[in-house]
């Protein structure tokens, strides 16, 4: 039993409890405790990254590392028999990158929050709760546990935007809360459908007396239970229904009478119920991604959120959406995933193009960055929909790389906002003359984001596009023109970044006279260097040495795409055959 994952999740929570006990006026110690917790979390994440063995192939069912599984809630409910909810955490190639990212960005966020003066105790308390729930999301392998963290994330975020945000903060906070809650309700519907349909073969074997309690189940026993289940030979009272995500990935674990069974033939509005479940889940996570057309909460939330919260929102919280699609939606419903690949990929490309065009039109620098996030997250959808090795690798790489780069972008916006209390593009000109070092970092961030070779953004976009172009041959899922259109997104992102650069930073130094006096526009201070330098280095390192990450995730992704594709086509055939 390895406690590293639990330590990752609960270190911030522990620190939050410590802060709760500290009196309000001790602002320095409160900040110090938060920083310490974030540093410990980062240290553990880096340790985990080095200890993680990229050669162990996780194929969905097995291969998770540092697993910890404890019985949490078990009860029987009327005719539904027994239920099992576990505290079940583990890490594989998909989550390792995001765990690392969360650790890194968590520290940057604390440094960025150092100047918060309003209600310091409350702020850092909520910040730590947020870190706990995000980390929990990336590590949970039990759907209930995942859902708990997923929902709990909303609350600290709601208050962080609503209390510490900009002028329209209340509106933005409520919009964020309602949007994402509705998303998670879609997920809840499917979760209920799934856990009433899926059994845990090992626990069921124990109930049936095939196994001693506490004994590990051999593959033969599991297969025997699954075969008996499919032949309806197990009494309802011996079935143990589970929330385990790996168990849900296995079609043999579905109860034959359940509506989400591949062969159930259940149909609603002329669509197989499994397809509807997929669409609901997809909608739930797409809101979080966010994908056009359910992205409208993001610009509002970003514009109103304080800088560190924007950083966290863009760098980590959005990743939960993409992660959910990869971890939950596709492996559990591979059939619908392949069936609707054109929809997922299409929405991805739509996000890329529409997000970029919106960014082009924005007058507020922060809104521009927010729409660039929408655009870049579109690549995640496209890469995933292609279901090629390159595409899925690219999607995960994009999430990691966007985490680093968007953190930098929002910090850069924060720098100018701190000085001028304004971030309208047309209010600034020639900033390069007044703030040369700052301009250098802006250039790095912009170029990293638009996919300049040498930065991590390039690797991820390249991988996704290669995956997309290869998809027609390799998986037969996406039409080639879709990827061709996506390429224009690169062009557009170059356009909006370069244009912003030209308008704000080049030429003779001028700022809108009614803002602040020019003398206050000073270059970067130490604290800002402390945040921007590591991020720039990371963007470069992961741009020049992509194998640092790809070695850890590559084999998992190979197994993943193979499993999803194979099962997808097989199950899709079965579902379509039951319809005739």
What are the residues binding another protein (CB under 8 A)? 72-80, 119, 122, 147-148, 151-152, 154-155, 159, 162-163, 169-170, 173-174, 177-178, 181-182, 185, 188-189, 192-193, 195-196, 257-259, 266, 268
3-state SS string for 451-505:
CCCCCHHHHHHHHHHHHHHHHHHHCCCCCHHHHHHHHHHHHHHHHHHHHHHHHHH
When the beta carbons of 173 and 411 are compared against another protein, the nearer one is 173
CA–CA gap between residue 152 and residue 124 (Å, rounded): 16
CA-to-CA distance for 279 and 285, rounded, in angstroms? 10
CB 88 within 8 A of CB 100: no
Task: Indicate the residue among 122 and 534 with the shorter CB distance to another protein.
Answer: 122
3-class DSSP state for residue 510?
strand
Identify which of residues 150 and 441 has a Cβ nearer to another protein in the complex: 150
Q: Which is nearer to another protein, 160 or 432 (CB)?
A: 160
State the minimum distance, in angstroms, from the CB of residue 155 to another protein.
7
Closer by beta carbon to another protein, 152 or else 488: 152
Instruction: Identify which of residues 122 and 479 has a Cβ nearer to another protein in the complex.
Output: 122
**CB 186 to another protein: min, Å:** 8
Query: What 3-state DSSP class applies to 127?
Result: helix
How near is the Cβ of 136 to another protein at its closest, in Å? 11
CB of residue 575 vs another protein: minimum separation in angstroms? 17
CB-wise, 76 or 115, nearer to another protein?
A: 76
Min. distance of Cβ 498 from another protein in angstroms? Answer: 39
Q: What is the 3-state secondary structure (H, E, C) of 164-212?
A: HCCCCHHHHHHHHHHHHHHHHHHHHHHHHHHHCCEECHHHHHHHHCCCC
Cis peptide before 290 (omega within 30 of 0): yes
Shortest CB 417 distance to another protein, Å:
21
- Nearest to another protein of 93, 324 (CB atom): 324
Among 399, 398, 410, which residue's Cα sits nearest to residue 298?
410
Pairing of strands 510-511, 428-429: antiparallel
Q: Which helix (H) or strand (E) holds 89?
A: strand 82-91
Q: Minimum Å distance from CB 170 to another protein? A: 5
Tokens found for residue 19: 């802060």
| Rounded least distance, CB 31 to another protein, Å | 19
Nearer to another protein, 259 or 532 (CB): 259
DSSP 424-457: BGGGEE-HHHH-HHHHHHHHHHHHHHTT-TTSHH
Gyration radius of the chain over CA positions: 24
> Residue 286 Cβ, how far from another protein at the closest point, in Å?
16
Q: What is the spatial distance between Cα 447 and Cα 440, in angstroms, rounded to a whole number?
A: 11
Q: How far apart are CA 5 and CA 348, in angstroms?
A: 32
Q: How far is the CB of 371 from another protein (least distance, A)?
A: 26
* DSSP bridge partners of 555: none
| Beta carbon of residue 318, minimum distance to another protein (angstroms, whole number) | 21
* E strand or H helix at 358: helix 341-361
Task: Categorise residue 81: left if φ over 0, alpha if ψ from -120 to 50, beta otherwise.
Answer: left
3 state SS of 319: helix
Instruction: Estimate to the nearest angstrom the gap between the alpha carbon of 204 and the chain centroid.
Output: 33
Q: Write the DSSP assignment of 20-61 as a string of letters.
A: HHS-TT-HHHHHHHHHHHHHHHHHHHHHHHHH--TTSPP-SS
Output the smallest distance, CB 429 to another protein, in A: 37
What's the rounded Cα separation, in Å, for the pair 139 and 121?
27
Nearer to another protein, 188 or 357 (CB): 188
Query: Is the distance from CB of 481 to CB of 472 less than 8 angstroms?
Result: no
């Amino acid at each position: 039993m390895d406690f590293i994952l639990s330590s990752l999740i609960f270190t911030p929570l522990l620190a939050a409890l410590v802060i709760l006990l500290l009196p309000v006026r001790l602002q320095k110690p409160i900040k110090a405790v938060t920083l310490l917790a974030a540093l410990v979390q980062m240290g553990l994440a880096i340790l985990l990254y080095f200890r993680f063995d990229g050669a162990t192939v996780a194929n969905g069912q097995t291969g998770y590392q540092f697993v910890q599984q404890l019985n949490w809630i078990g009860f029987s409910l009327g005719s539904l028999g027994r239920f099992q909810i576990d505290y079940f955490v583990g890490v594989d190639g998909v989550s390792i990158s995001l765990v690392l990212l969360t650790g890194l960005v968590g520290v940057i966020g604390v440094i960025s929050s150092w100047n918060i003066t309003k209600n310091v105790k409350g702020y850092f308390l909520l910040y730590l709760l947020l870190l706990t729930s995000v980390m929990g999301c990336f590590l949970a392998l039990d759907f209930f546990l995942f859902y708990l963290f997923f929902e709990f994330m909303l609350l600290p975020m709601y208050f962080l935007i609503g209390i510490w945000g900009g002028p329209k903060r209340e509106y933005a906070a409520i919009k964020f809360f309602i949007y994402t809650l509705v998303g998670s309700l879609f997920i809840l519907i499917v979760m209920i459908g799934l856990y009433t349909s899926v059994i845990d073969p090992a626990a069921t074997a124990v109930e049936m007396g095939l196994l001693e309690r506490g004994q590990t189940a051999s593959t033969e026993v599991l297969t025997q239970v699954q075969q008996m289940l499919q032949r309806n030979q197990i009494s309802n009272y011996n079935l143990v229904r589970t929330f385990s995500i790996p168990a849900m990935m296995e079609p043999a674990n579905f109860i034959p009478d359940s509506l989400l069974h591949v062969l159930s033939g259940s149909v609603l509005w002329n669509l197989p119920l499994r397809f509807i479940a997929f669409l609901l889940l997809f909608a739930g996570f797409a809101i979080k991604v966010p994908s056009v057309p359910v992205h409208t909460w993001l610009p509002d939330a970003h514009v109103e959120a304080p800088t560190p919260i924007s950083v966290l929102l863009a760098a980590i919280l959005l990743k939960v959406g993409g992660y959910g699609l990869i971890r939950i939606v596709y492996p559990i419903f591979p059939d619908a995933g392949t069936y609707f690949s054109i929809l997922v990929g299409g929405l991805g490309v739509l996000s890329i193009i529409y997000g970029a065009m919106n960014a082009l039109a924005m007058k507020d620098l922060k809104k521009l960055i927010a729409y660039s996030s929408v655009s870049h997250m579109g690549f995640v959808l496209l890469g995933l929909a292609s279901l090629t090795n390159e595409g899925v690798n690219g999607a995960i790489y994009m999430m990691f790389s966007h985490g680093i780069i968007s953190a930098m972008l929002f910090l850069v916006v924060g720098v100018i906002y701190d000085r001028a209390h304004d971030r309208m593009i047309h209010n600034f000109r020639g900033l390069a003359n007044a703030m040369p070092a700052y301009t250098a970092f802006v250039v790095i961030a912009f170029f990293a984001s638009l996919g300049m070779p040498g930065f991590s953004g390039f690797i991820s976009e390249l991988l996704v596009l290669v995956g997309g172009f290869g998809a027609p041959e390799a998986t037969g899922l996406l039409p080639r023109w879709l990827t061709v259109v996506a390429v224009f997104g690169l062009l557009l992102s170059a356009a909006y970044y370069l244009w912003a650069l030209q308008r704000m930073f080049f030429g003779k130094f001028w700022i809108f006279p009614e803002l602040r006096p020019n003398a206050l526009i000073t270059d970067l201070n130490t604290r800002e260097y402390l945040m921007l330098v590591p991020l720039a280095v990371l963007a470069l390192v992961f741009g020049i040495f992509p194998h640092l990450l790809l070695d850890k995730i590559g084999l998992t992704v190979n197994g993943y795409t193979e499993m999803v594709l194979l099962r997808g086509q097989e199950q899709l055939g079965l579902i379509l055959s039951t319809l005739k």
